[in-house]
Amino acid sequence: MARLLFTAREFGSLSDPINQKLSHQLEVLVGKPLQFMHQTHSNNLHLVNKVEAIKEDTDSLITDNKDLALVVRVADCIPLLLYSTNLVAAVHVGRKGLVNEVAVKTVEKMQSLGAEKVSGVVGPHICGDCYEVGTEMADQIMKSHPATAGKKAHLNLFAGLKEQLPNVDLENVGICTMEKSQYFSYRKADESGRQVGVISL
Ligand SMILES: [Zn+2]
């Protein structure tokens, strides 16, 4: 079974540039070296085996090394942590990531690397009642991703993700970053703080 962790505001922010002291504290907590990524809402995956300075746009990390922990940083987007018996992945899924199918690509990659059953946990993110976008954008996304449809121009990212990954057992911790003051939320306060999701084998 994989080991998973989500931080909240109280732990501190791991936005860019990464606070080295805080990163070290997290590493001590996790007990393994941490691999971060340069997140840009892309659908690029990176297979890692040891800690690397990843310069390229990357929104999904995968490893089979049990001595490495993968980190995804978020402040409203979905921190998606995926695991199988032989692999783990940390994926950054916002609206753009839903559309560019970064999670679908990740699961396919895990399967090509021998993962039989892939499961996942979705950490704190903005919920479907709070995530309002422009009408035109909402219409466009609801058309291609019907499950995201909520009240008016609100998008339910988790429902959209679930729809994209029908064969993955997805658990949602059910915490909304915009509603809960304990979490960083870009939308709530236009702040740059980031909480993290961490996973390792
Ligand atoms: Zn909410």
- Secondary structure tally for the chain: helices H, strands E: 6, 10
**pLDDT tens column, 1-20:** 799 999 999 999 999 889 99
Q: How far is the CA of 158 from the centre of ligand 1 (A)?
A: 12
pLDDT band at 175 (very low <50, low <70, confident <90, very high): very high
Q: How far is the CA of 194 from the centre of ligand 1 (A)?
A: 17
Distance in Å, CA 131 to ligand 1 centroid: 7
CATH code, domain carrying 182: 3.60.140.10
Residue 21 lies in a domain: yes
Smallest Cα–Cα separation from 24: which of 56, 58, 71?
A: 71
Please check whether residue 140 lies inside any domain of the structure.
no
Domain assignment present for residue 108? The answer is yes
pLDDT value, residue 65 = 98
Task: Provide the pLDDT for residue 112.
Answer: 98
Question: How far does residue 125's CA lie from ligand 1's centre (Å)?
Answer: 8
Ligand 1 centre to CA of 179 (Å) is: 5
Do the domain assignments include residue 156? no
Residue 83 placed within a domain? yes
Average of per-residue pLDDT across 127-137: 95
Classify residue 159 by burial, with Cβ atoms within 10 Å: 0-12, 13-18, 19+.
middle
Kindly list the protein residues that place their beta carbon closer than 5 angstroms to ligand 1, a single-atom ion: 127, 129-130, 176, 178-179
* Total tally of structural domains belonging to the chain: 1
In a domain, 172, yes or no: yes
What is the 119 CA–ligand 1 centroid distance (Å)? 24
* CB-count burial class (<10 Å; 0-12, 13-18, 19+) for 53: exposed
* pLDDT at residue 1, rounded to an integer: 76
pLDDT for the residue numbered 150: 86
CA 60, 179, 195, 88 torsion: positive or negative? negative
- Tens of pLDDT, residue by residue over 31-50, are 999 999 999 999 999 999 99
If pLDDT is split at 50, 70 and 90, which confidence band does 192 have?
Answer: confident
Distance 178 CA to ligand 1 centre (A): 5
When pLDDT is averaged across residues 69-85 and rounded to a whole number, the result is: 97
Flag whether 70 is in a domain: yes
Mean pLDDT of 100-111: 98
User: Which domain does 179 fall in, by range?
Assistant: 3-125+168-200
Report the share of the chain in percent with pLDDT over 70. 100
Q: Rounded mean pLDDT of 63-88? A: 97
Within a domain: residue 144? Answer: no
pLDDT (mean) for 151-155: 93
